[in-house]
Structure 1
Amino acid sequence: MSHIVRAEERIDLCTDMFMTRMKEFANTGEIIDMSKWAQMYAFDVIGQLFFSRMFGFMKDKSDYRGYIRSLDLLVPILTTSCVLPTYIRPLFLGIVVLMPGVYKALGSLKDIEKAAESCVSERQRLVESGDVTENKDILSSLFDIVREKGEKLDFGMTEVQVEVFGALFAGSDTTAAALSSILYHVVKSPTAYRKLTEEIDQATKSGQLSVPNVQYQEAMKLPYLVACCKEGMRIHPSVALTLPRHVPQGGCTISGDWFAEGTRVGVNAAVVHRDKGIFGEDADSFNPDRWFRDDAVNMDRYMFHFGGGSRTCIGKNLIPQLLRSFDLELTDQEWETHNFWFHKPSNFNVRLRPKATSV
């Protein structure tokens, strides 16, 4: 969270580019896949957060170096390999590498790895040369860890490269899935869409939301927006697989059942999020109003959309900026979702129209 707030001016550059593209589509009446644009936005934001620069997905309106295509092709293969018994994996990988396009995708994956190495090497050169113009982004914070306590934590340049690669490999899919789900379910629900746009418009008129760029902390003060974000991530968690953990020494009891030490256990976020004992009898429905119930604090404890721990969706302030400038209309086609490591949406097709009072 601290990195997002600190980098807000740089993220605003990504939002400006996104809004410019949305205005172009609104003027032409072109139907666009919002899930695709959410991922391009997420990738460029990751570039700003880690490297203080956008990759160019939105600027060029294209898949930079084929990263998205490569991830879409490789994630199902890598996920299947991870859940297969160890002795079957070599045979499986040996077969799939012969599939059309897989070899090329592996090359693009190597490009992502090289990009991570290149960014780390370049930043290391700047640090060693004493360049005082270095931006305070996540990469520089990782370098601080290496310098201040790397030896104690066994955290060196290899670990920095792994962190950067992980952000490039996984960061865009999870963020785009969350952002797409929030927008999709809001636009699909006339009641939620009306209540949210009314809250955004009123907040803009009263000066609660900055113009032209809504600030993250401003967005977080809009109660119905926050409820819509929570509900969108609840109904469609970004991570689709169980996140495995090993039972500790001595074993333990989980939900009334005993598990021996070393047993691999996990929980699927979608199962938790649809638990009627936690979220109510309407747990299968998109209903932002549930977050104003008396048990909302308890429900928050069971949110597992990005897995456990402190996480946030970096697009929350993009949503009010988008919805106060444009009316979004879904096409008749339902979106599609693909359940591998990530719970990835696609074909979230919308038409945008400029609002008469847009800012």
Structure 2
Amino acid sequence: MLEALVHLPRPSLATTSAVLASLTIIYSVAWVVYTRFFHPLARYPGPFWASISRFWMVNQIRLAQSEKTQKALHDRLGPIVRIAPNEVAIADPDAIKTIYGINSGFTKTDFYTPWRPAWCKYPDAFTNLDEKQHASRRKITNNLYSMSSIARSEESIDLCTAVLLEQMTKYAQSGATLDMAAWAQMYAFDVVGQLFFSRMFGFLEAGHDHRGYIRSLDLLLPILCAASVMPTYLRTVFLMGGALIQPRVLKALTSLKDIDNAAEQCIVDRHAQLEAGQKDESEKDILASLFSVMREKGDKVDFGRTEVKVEVYVALFAGSDTTAAAVSSVLYHLMKTPAAYNRLTAEIDAADADGRLSTPYVKYKEASALPYLDACIKEGMRLHPSVGLTLPRHVPAGGCQISGAWFPGGTRVGVNAAVVHRDRSIFGADADVFNPDRWLGPNAANMDRYMFQFGGGSRTCIGKNISLCEMYKMIPALLRSFHLELVHPERTWTTHNYWFNKPSHVDTRVTARS
């Protein structure tokens, strides 16, 4: 019997290939049938390809217009739309509190892990999936990013504003046009440099991306974002295999190393300055404060040099694109809406004449007290939140009811700020229109509850106060000294949504005000 089995003919390569192909087809058909008819999310509408594969989401990242696609889907299909076999996007503003509220029980999905630096011992605040660990680690440095701490560093931001205004003066004198979105990012990058390291990187002075950080981020974001939405088991293949055959992927991974090296170099430079006595530790930029935390309680809370580097890395990675997008949105929509622009400049001029604004640089406390400026900044962030994708979370064990529907534990759910910020039931029938007046009415407090541009709950963006302080100081300083107008007011701006929803080509003409 054994001898007979040994002498059985071996299947040919063609036969083996045919069997494998048949099994693949059977599995694929079974998967489609399951996801379309038997999966717990089968009842929810959405694109066909989204219901059977996460590659629908990957393609949306490639197209860089996810927020527009999601908004159109919700308008057509309702508040719950299936965007992957195991994930739904929810456009109900009340879902924000349910999903992202403190102690909600919802946890971050593995969407966030590709953004995590591979060398860190503890995940940073953005990529940490463990809620308890996130809370304990964030407490270590949280006070460094409070508004009171940032406001004490206003003079650092003023130094950057001074260089920006000098450069705007040159443009006004020459009559040349500029891309306001690019200058907003260079400003935001230099503010990070000044706040963290007591020195600007030099973007504003050079007037271009002379260190290559912006180019690095622009290469990196699409690749990391695509990896984040694809199946986990394919990410390494995509990144490593892509690096071998796709120059764009290789450049992106090289850019990731550039940001890593920049973070390390900032720490090396500071350590060398301290060793040489060139830097007094009492000079409290954020890096000095991080070193103080490491020295005073590092052993107790396990916060060492690597943890300092993580904080610097995150600041370099996320500290410019988000703020620049917000500043660009406010200025762009003001230039597109002359009545609002003129009203804001009148408010700034009146406050200036009354001595309510400091000279030469506006203080945050003064700017935030201007009601129309406050309304314009909120409206700019409402119409164009800096992050344009859903913030995915796992439904807690036992399941949960969201927007009148029951979702089993483990289901991926998320809300997109770019969608809920245009909800007419909250923001009015003109929710698609730039109208700062909505923030001066009786519904302002209620609308504020649904603003989601910085995330929500315990996962609110740790750099929120840096961003707000920059915006409230820079915008009135700019508009007090210059008149801005779009070179092509009839055109709509260009945006690319790779998690950070980045505007570009906000071509602007600058004129000095008398």
Give the stretch that moved more between structures: 95-104 or 330-339: 95-104
- Residue from 238, 241, 263 that aligns with 1:116: 263
- The CA distance in 1 between the partners of 2:394 and 2:273, in whole Å, is 41
Partner residue, 2:183? 37
Partner residue, 2:320? 172
Aligned ranges for residues 193-212 of structure 1 at < 5 Å? 193-212=341-360
In 2, are the aligned partners of 1:251 and 1:261 still within 8 Å (CA)? yes
Deviations 1:134-187 (CA, angstroms, capped at 9, x unpaired): 421222233333344445544332222112111101110000000000010011
Q: Which amino acid aligns with 1:319?
A: I
Give the stretch that moved more between structures: 344-353 or 91-100: 91-100
Greater radius of gyration (CA): 2
- The CA distance in 2 between the partners of 1:291 and 1:255, in whole Å, is 26
Aligned ranges for residues 224-243 of structure 1 at < 5 Å? 224-243=372-391
- Residue from 150, 153, 157 that aligns with 1:11: 157
- The CA distance in 2 between the partners of 1:315 and 1:300, in whole Å, is 18
- The CA distance in 1 between the partners of 2:289 and 2:408, in whole Å, is 39
Deviations 1:60-81 (CA, angstroms, capped at 9, x unpaired): 1121321111111210111001
- The CA distance in 2 between the partners of 1:263 and 1:275, in whole Å, is 24
- Alignment pair present for 1:136 and 2:284: yes
Report the TM-score when normalising by structure 1: 0.93
- Residue from 258, 265, 282 that aligns with 2:430: 282
- The CA distance in 1 between the partners of 2:372 and 2:451, in whole Å, is 17
Give the stretch that moved more between structures: 175-184 or 274-283: 274-283
Deviations 1:104-156 (CA, angstroms, capped at 9, x unpaired): 45334312211212222444566678863542122223333334444554433
In 2, are the aligned partners of 1:55 and 1:64 still within 8 Å (CA)? no
- The CA distance in 1 between the partners of 2:273 and 2:399, in whole Å, is 49
Give the stretch that moved more between structures: 281-290 or 228-237: 281-290
Partner residue, 2:472? 316
Report the TM-score when normalising by structure 2: 0.66
- Residue from 280, 303, 306 that aligns with 1:155: 303
- The CA distance in 2 between the partners of 1:224 and 1:182, in whole Å, is 12
Deviations 1:326-356 (CA, angstroms, capped at 9, x unpaired): 1111122431011111111000001011112
RMSD: 2.0
- Alignment pair present for 1:88 and 2:246: no
- The CA distance in 1 between the partners of 2:228 and 2:438, in whole Å, is 37
- The CA distance in 2 between the partners of 1:325 and 1:349, in whole Å, is 19
Residues 166 and 251 of structure 1: CA distance in aligned 2, closer, same or farther (over 3 Å): same
Give the stretch that moved more between structures: 122-131 or 31-40: 122-131
Deviations 1:214-266 (CA, angstroms, capped at 9, x unpaired): 11111111100000000000000001121222223333222222223333322
Residues 144 and 257 of structure 1: CA distance in aligned 2, closer, same or farther (over 3 Å): farther
Give 1:267 shift: 1.0
- Alignment pair present for 1:24 and 2:170: yes
Matched residues, percent identical?
61
List runs of 5+ in structure 1 lacking aligned partners: none
- The CA distance in 1 between the partners of 2:249 and 2:238, in whole Å, is 13
In 1, are the aligned partners of 2:219 and 2:251 still within 8 Å (CA)? no
In 1, are the aligned partners of 2:223 and 2:249 still within 8 Å (CA)? no
- The CA distance in 2 between the partners of 1:336 and 1:210, in whole Å, is 35
Q: Which amino acid aligns with 2:324?
A: A
In 1, are the aligned partners of 2:242 and 2:250 still within 8 Å (CA)? no
- Alignment pair present for 1:103 and 2:261: no
The 3-state SS of whatever aligns with 2:324 is: helix
Give the stretch that moved more between structures: 151-160 or 259-268: 151-160
List runs of 5+ in structure 2 lacking aligned partners: 1-146
Residues 207 and 150 of structure 1: CA distance in aligned 2, closer, same or farther (over 3 Å): same
Question: How many aligned residue pairs are there?
Answer: 356
Give the stretch that moved more between structures: 238-247 or 86-95: 86-95
